[in-house]
Structure 1
Amino acid sequence: MSIGRTYAIALSGMSGTIVEIEADLANGLPGLSLIGLPDRALGEAAERVRSAVVNSGYKLAPRRLTVNLSPAALPKRGSGFDLGIALACLAAGGVLNSGSIEDVVHIGELSLDGRLRPTGGVLPAVIAARASGRTRIMVPIANAAEATLVPGMTVIPVASLREAAMAHGARAAAPTSWVELPALLSQNPIVAEEEDPLDLSDVVGNNDAIEALIVAAAGGHHLLMSGPPGAGKTMLAMRLPGILPNLSEAAALDVASIRSLVGHSLGNALPTRPPWEAPHHTTTTAAMIGGGSGMIRPGSAARASHGVLFLDEAPEFPASVLDALRQPLESGLVSIHRANAVATFPASFQLVLAANPCPCGNYGSNETDCVCPPSARRRYLARLSGPLTDRIDIQLRVRRLSLVALRLDATPRYSTGEARQRVFDARARTADRLQATPWRTNAQVSGPYLRSPENRLPSHVTASLDRALERGGLTMRGYDRVLKLAWTIADLDGTDRPGIDQVGRALYLRKGMTP
């Protein structure tokens, strides 16, 4: 029996499944056929493998080769199976050691001349290989740095099929004339992660908005800023990632895995700073949530996970795109369903929306008259649906700074470093208080937990909040979100529990955009 057997990884979103690659050599007309639900890119692997083997100095046996990808019912997508298929075929023909390739997971796309090209999704593939109990993996040399980010795995980087075959006991074939893959690495340079040059001290005035930004960062709360053009909404939003704490190890691994899936270079270290995504208002639902034909790719919501998703001119986004964010805001996950696959990506981002108060943008401005009729204003803001805005913790009105206020402003300004330290200290208090729970920020805490007998605030503290709920000014979800804001403000103030002052400030942050 002439069968070569090795393993690869089939990715579906962030999760991966071990795939057994079997190559059987049998009598019949020479040919190479793939079975086991390959997609079109994988179905073309037969031609890539055939050319790569010949141009690497080896030969496939002149008999019929059948390659099975098991489990057969699992859809396989992409070109990362090329290396495993080629080595299984060579093992079936006796060119290399069959036992050697059975102990290694192989990932890599082959060029026709035998080089191994960089492959997207190597980091989540290595994580999946470790989860399946494997300890050794062979990857293209261009992906070696990100593969080594996963502890407990022995990574074997190779530049070509020839080098991979020799690592498994094949004889040394005649060297080829091309320069091996390190020359390709210069096309995708690794850039070190730099500190954000935007500083919070650049913002003049708008002290309420700056405080709201710090509260949002400290508690992981979503934020909606409404105001006329030039009020500083975008300027404020762009400084939110700078005051967020560094990523935890688990969050950094999620961020790195998503970047690997979209083909970004990771270098030899995990990212440390929260990501920032700001899609244009013409973006589609698939671009926002993820999708695509063939391999399901993460969208802006997944790429912003553990960071900030900023939607400027939010009412200009299609309603379907905005409403598609409602489920990720609640669950912290994006699930994309296809007829034969389900891909799940993390989506625990902070949503920041910026909106003008009306189509002309001047409603509520003291300097310029608004020309929009009331019906136009209502229609404009109604593009942000009630169920979506109800999920936004902080809803703040930002006013344009006057010349007098600009010249007379003598208030000490927070720098990004000072604000980040406040946020760090507040999050440390939150984490200490919630250490016996599954949550680490106030935005994650459930309403029933906050209203439980152990954590319920006295009635005189929540009197204003209770009245707003009774009069219909707040929904029950809004009530819980004001409580979360109050606890965040208490953590920033260094108090054990929210008082009347903290609840009042939280209610203002929640309803402050109401004219």
Structure 2
Amino acid sequence: MLTKTYGSAVFGVNAATITIEVNVTPGTKLFMVGLPDNAVKESEQRIESALKHYGYRMPRQKVVINLAPANIRKEGSAYDLPIALGLLAASEQMPADRLGDYLIMGELSLDGELRPIKGALPIAIQARKEGFKGFILPAQNAREAAIVNNLEVYGVKNIKEAIGFFWGDDPVERVKIDTREIFQNTADKYLADFADVQGQENIKRALEIAAAGGHNVIMVGPPGAGKTMLAKRLPSILPPLSLQEALETTKIHSVAGKLGEQASLLSTRPYRAPHHTISDVALVGGGGNPQPGEISLSHNGVLFLDELPEFKRTVLEVMRQPLEERKVTISRAKVSIDFPANFMLIASMNPCPCGYYNHPEKDCVCGPGIVQRYLNKVSGPLLDRIDLHVEVTPVTFDQMTETRKTESSAEIRERVIRARQIQAERFENHPEIHANALMPSQMVKDICQINEAGKKLLKTAMERLGLSARAYDRILKVSRTIADLSGSPEIKVEHLAEAIQYRSLDREGWAG
């Protein structure tokens, strides 16, 4: 008897439906075709053990299992459940009449329990798109899949519950999620807040500008000055995620298997801080079965690289293209996959190997030329893509013991949101641009026009401070954001003056 069940394969952040055809005929041996990998082939042993545990039998006839379309490689263990149900239906141990209405995924353990899968959300989205009535999957992933409306989602704990569902004698409760209610109740719930930070007013101002314009930032300062602490608080002042952005972000984390059990919608901006020993593939994504890397996991959020010069040069250089294009393209012989990577880069570094160059109290012990060689580990093209260079100085004892209440993240975020609204109106005819940092050079010339006094100031700054030509566009973009924060329709001299001070690493002789 021939039966069909339906599963799914995930490619990038999208899914494709896989038809699992099971044919049981007189004969011997089991054949599995349709480009299965080893994990799929090994499902025979898992399925046999799981069925025996609940009193069912493995067909002792000729069994042909075809995973169609046959030209797509099938990977992973999540096909166990649809294959097992197809075998039972083909051997007439359970009814087959409703199998075609549901998309089924799940990995079986030897005792028939179901283990969680990756990519439940994009699979559910594709199931709804293709008109399936429902989606049957492990209970641990049910809330994640139930985000998708107009699709019945059933979470099962073991294969017996799945079999009982199709017999109709063991009803499984449908999982329902009010996506908008969850989104509204959990949005912007950050543990870290700028209200906890004493002093560092100039750094807070720089991060506010960065958040308002989507600018990348590098902080340079000695150990213990608060660089990591400040970076952790940046997501709390970014504009709240829209529901569409939350779904995009959740899809990526779903594909990577980073959503916790019983998790549903990610409603806060992601913050990723990989260690400096990370490989280039782990950062940008890849592998035999391409998976999203850290820069995609930080999509719509913040990627923090602490101790930037300690990262391998190759790792830093692979970020240059994603920083410009806001996506990562991973190409293989037979497939090319795009992962979104629209993130804010926040980097920090010591000014020298010992960490105390230009320190107000401690002496630097690095020899001549050591400081410059240390800074040169970060390439010019990468620095070119970082708009704000901020020098962080240690907090004094008096600042740490101040009792004066400092500004909270919510207060700063209000100003950031107002600035972003101005930019949304400015770029309403350019859907690919949503912040000043994304403006191309031609648009900078049109939008960031300055008066004669501003031109004179900028010319003087570039000559006296030895600023490079690449700093020109960056200064104009940052000054446009500062003007937006102050509600000014044009860029004034004071806006330019503030933007110029954020190009410290471009200055000739900065490191002696």
- Would you call these one fold, judging by a TM-score over 0.5? yes
Mean Cα deviation higher: 419-428 or 126-135: 126-135
| Correspondence 1:197 to 2:191 | yes
Task: Describe how 1:56-95 pairs up with structure 2 within 5 A.
Answer: 56-95=54-93
Match of 1:279 among 236, 261, 274: 274
| Alignment partners' CA distance in 1, 2:71 and 2:469 | 46
Could you tell me which residue of structure 2 aligns to residue 27 of structure 1?
26
Instruction: Please state whether the residue corresponding to 1:229 is helix, strand or coil.
Output: coil
Change in CA separation of 1:16 and 1:269 when aligned onto 2, cut-off 3 Å? closer
- Quote how far apart the aligned CAs of 1:406 are: 6.1
| Alignment partners' CA distance in 2, 1:320 and 1:359 | 20
| Alignment partners' CA distance in 1, 2:65 and 2:220 | 59
RMSD: 2.8
Change in CA separation of 1:268 and 1:229 when aligned onto 2, cut-off 3 Å? closer
Cα distance per residue 1:291-315 (max 9 Å; x no partner)? 345x433222222121111111111
| Alignment partners' CA distance in 1, 2:400 and 2:241 | 36
| Alignment partners' CA distance in 1, 2:236 and 2:131 | 39
Task: Describe how 1:445-460 pairs up with structure 2 within 5 A.
Answer: 445-452=439-446, 456-458=449-451, 460=453
Change in CA separation of 1:444 and 1:152 when aligned onto 2, cut-off 3 Å? farther
Match of 2:321 among 327, 330, 345: 327
Instruction: Please state whether the residue corresponding to 1:509 is helix, strand or coil.
Output: coil
Could you tell me which residue of structure 1 aligns to residue 502 of structure 2?
509
Could you tell me which residue of structure 1 aligns to residue 479 of structure 2?
486
Could you tell me which residue of structure 2 aligns to residue 189 of structure 1?
none
Counterpart AA for 2:52: V
Mean Cα deviation higher: 35-44 or 163-172: 163-172
Contact 2:4 2:86 in 1 (8 A): yes
- Quote how far apart the aligned CAs of 1:155 are: 1.3
Counterpart AA for 1:121: G
| Correspondence 1:154 to 2:165 | no
Change in CA separation of 1:410 and 1:142 when aligned onto 2, cut-off 3 Å? closer
Counterpart AA for 1:85: I
Counterpart AA for 2:50: A
- Quote how far apart the aligned CAs of 1:171 are: 7.8
Could you tell me which residue of structure 1 aligns to residue 410 of structure 2?
417
Change in CA separation of 1:133 and 1:510 when aligned onto 2, cut-off 3 Å? farther
| Alignment partners' CA distance in 1, 2:353 and 2:504 | 21
Counterpart AA for 1:373: G
Counterpart AA for 1:308: V
- Quote how far apart the aligned CAs of 1:457 are: 4.2
Contact 1:233 1:398 in 2 (8 A): yes
Contact 2:140 2:262 in 1 (8 A): no
- Quote how far apart the aligned CAs of 1:347 are: 1.6
Change in CA separation of 1:266 and 1:253 when aligned onto 2, cut-off 3 Å? farther
| Correspondence 1:427 to 2:420 | yes
Counterpart AA for 1:259: H
Instruction: Please state whether the residue corresponding to 1:168 is helix, strand or coil.
Output: helix
Could you tell me which residue of structure 1 aligns to residue 7 of structure 2?
8
- Quote how far apart the aligned CAs of 1:228 are: 1.7
Match of 2:253 among 229, 253, 259: 259
Counterpart AA for 1:434: F
| Correspondence 1:216 to 2:215 | no
| Alignment partners' CA distance in 1, 2:359 and 2:169 | 79
Match of 1:115 among 113, 116, 122: 113
| Alignment partners' CA distance in 2, 1:44 and 1:207 | 59
Counterpart AA for 1:137: F
Could you tell me which residue of structure 2 aligns to residue 398 of structure 1?
392
Q: Report the number of matched residues.
A: 493
Contact 1:262 1:298 in 2 (8 A): no
Contact 1:397 1:513 in 2 (8 A): no
| Alignment partners' CA distance in 2, 1:348 and 1:255 | 10
| Alignment partners' CA distance in 2, 1:459 and 1:35 | 73
Could you tell me which residue of structure 1 aligns to residue 182 of structure 2?
none
| Alignment partners' CA distance in 1, 2:399 and 2:139 | 58
Contact 1:35 1:67 in 2 (8 A): yes
Question: What are structure 2's unaligned runs of at least 5 residues?
Answer: 176-185
Counterpart AA for 2:96: S
Instruction: Please state whether the residue corresponding to 1:372 is helix, strand or coil.
Output: coil
| Alignment partners' CA distance in 1, 2:106 and 2:479 | 51
| Correspondence 1:312 to 2:317 | no
Instruction: Please state whether the residue corresponding to 1:23 is helix, strand or coil.
Output: strand
- Quote how far apart the aligned CAs of 1:132 are: 3.8
Change in CA separation of 1:436 and 1:13 when aligned onto 2, cut-off 3 Å? same
Contact 1:34 1:46 in 2 (8 A): no
Change in CA separation of 1:412 and 1:264 when aligned onto 2, cut-off 3 Å? closer
Instruction: Please state whether the residue corresponding to 2:249 is helix, strand or coil.
Output: helix
- Quote how far apart the aligned CAs of 1:410 are: 9.5
Contact 1:259 1:266 in 2 (8 A): no
Contact 2:467 2:506 in 1 (8 A): no
Instruction: Please state whether the residue corresponding to 2:231 is helix, strand or coil.
Output: helix
| Alignment partners' CA distance in 1, 2:228 and 2:258 | 28
Match of 2:360 among 341, 344, 366: 366
Could you tell me which residue of structure 2 aligns to residue 248 of structure 1?
242
Question: What are structure 1's unaligned runs of at least 5 residues?
Answer: 173-181, 183-191
Q: TM-score, normalised by structure 2?
A: 0.88
| Alignment partners' CA distance in 2, 1:244 and 1:118 | 32
Contact 1:57 1:162 in 2 (8 A): no
Match of 2:291 among 288, 291, 297: 297
Instruction: Please state whether the residue corresponding to 2:65 is helix, strand or coil.
Output: strand
